[in-house]
Amino acid sequence: LSVILDVGCLVRLCSLLDSFGTDYYYEYTECDSVGSRWRVAIPRILGTCSALPTPTRGTDCSFSCAAGEFLEMSAQQCTTCAAGSYSLGSGVRFDQWDTIPAGFTSLATYMDPGPSGEESQACNSSSWTPQGVYLESSRDECTVSLVYAVHLEQQGSVSFSYQYPDNNIFFEFYVQNEQCQEMAQTDDQKWIKLTTNGEWDTHTVNLKSGTNILYWRTTGILVGGKMVKPVLLRNIQIEGVAYTSECFPCRPGWFSSSPGSSSCQPCPRNTSSHKGAASCTPCPDTQYSHEGWSQCKERPPCSEKDYFQIHTACDSEGKTQVMYRWVEPRICEENVTGAVALPPTGEREACPPCNPGYYNTDDSTCFPCPPGTHSDGTSVCEECPAGTEPVLGYEYKWWNVLPSNMKTSCFNVGNSKCDDMNGWEVAGDHIRSGAGGSDNDYLILNLHVPGFKLPTSLAGMTGTEFGRITFVFETICSADCELYFMMDVNRKSTTVVESWEGSKERQSYTHIMTRNASVSYTWAFQRTNQAQDVRRYISDVVILYSVSVTNVQDGVASACRACALLSQSSQRPGSCIPCPAGFYIDRDTNRCQECPPNTYLSGHHTYGEDACLPCGPGSKSNKEHSRCYSDCSFSQTEHNRTLTFDLSSLSPVASLTIGPSFTSKGTKYLHVFNVSLCGHQGKMAAVCTDNVTDIANKDMGSDSTQFVNSVDSFICQSTIIPADGRGFRMALASQSISLADTFLGATVDSDLDGINARPELFSDNSKTIPDINFFYRSTQATGSCQRGRSAVMTIRCNPEKTDRGKLTVPRYTHLSDCLLNITCLTVCSTSPV
What does the pLDDT look like over 800-814, one tens digit per residue? 666 667 788 876 666
Average pLDDT for 388-403: 91
Output the CA–CA distances (angstroms, integers) from residue 315 to 400, 519, 644, in the order listed. Answer: 11, 33, 74
Q: Which residues of 462-488 are buried (b: 16+ CB within 10 A; e: fewer)?
A: eeebbbbbebbbbbebebebbbbbbbb
CA count, 13 A, side-chain hemisphere, 27: 6
**Confidence at residue 279, expressed as pLDDT on a 0 to 100 scale:** 96
pLDDT at 365 over 80: yes
Which is more confidently placed, 580 or 216? 216
CATH class of 91-242: mainly beta
Range of weakest confidence among 156-160, 514-518, 591-595: 514-518
Q: Where are the domains of the chain?
A: 1-58, 91-242, 308-557, 563-614, 648-832
491 closest CA partner among 449, 533, 457, 531: 449
**Confidence at residue 592, expressed as pLDDT on a 0 to 100 scale:** 87
Residue 570's SS3 state is: coil
Highest mean pLDDT among 173-182, 474-483, 649-658, 721-730: 474-483
- pLDDT, tens digit, for every residue of 402-443? 999 999 998 887 777 777 788 899 988 999 998 888 888 899
**Confidence at residue 226, expressed as pLDDT on a 0 to 100 scale:** 60
pLDDT at 225 over 60: no
Average pLDDT for 554-569: 81
Is residue 573 a contact partner of residue 375, using CB atoms and an 8 Å limit? Answer: no
pLDDT at 696 over 50: no
pLDDT at 14 over 70: no
Residue 190's SS3 state is: helix
Could you name the CATH architecture of 648-832? Answer: Distorted Sandwich (2.70)
Average pLDDT for 222-228: 62
**357: number of Cβ within 10 Å:** 27
Q: Can you state the percent helix, strand and coil of the chain, rounding each to 5? A: 5, 40, 55
Average pLDDT, the chain: 82
State percent of the chain over pLDDT 70: 83
Average pLDDT for 329-355: 89
Q: How far apart are CA 765 and CA 359, in angstroms?
A: 66
**Confidence at residue 192, expressed as pLDDT on a 0 to 100 scale:** 84
Rounded to a whole number of angstroms, the CA Rg of the chain reads 35
Tell me whether domains 91-242 and 648-832 share a fold.
no
Helix or strand run (H / E) with residue 501: strand 494-501
Residues 738, 744, 747, 748: is their CA dihedral positive or negative? negative
Domain 308-557 sits in CATH 3.40.50.2300 = no
Average pLDDT for 468-480: 94
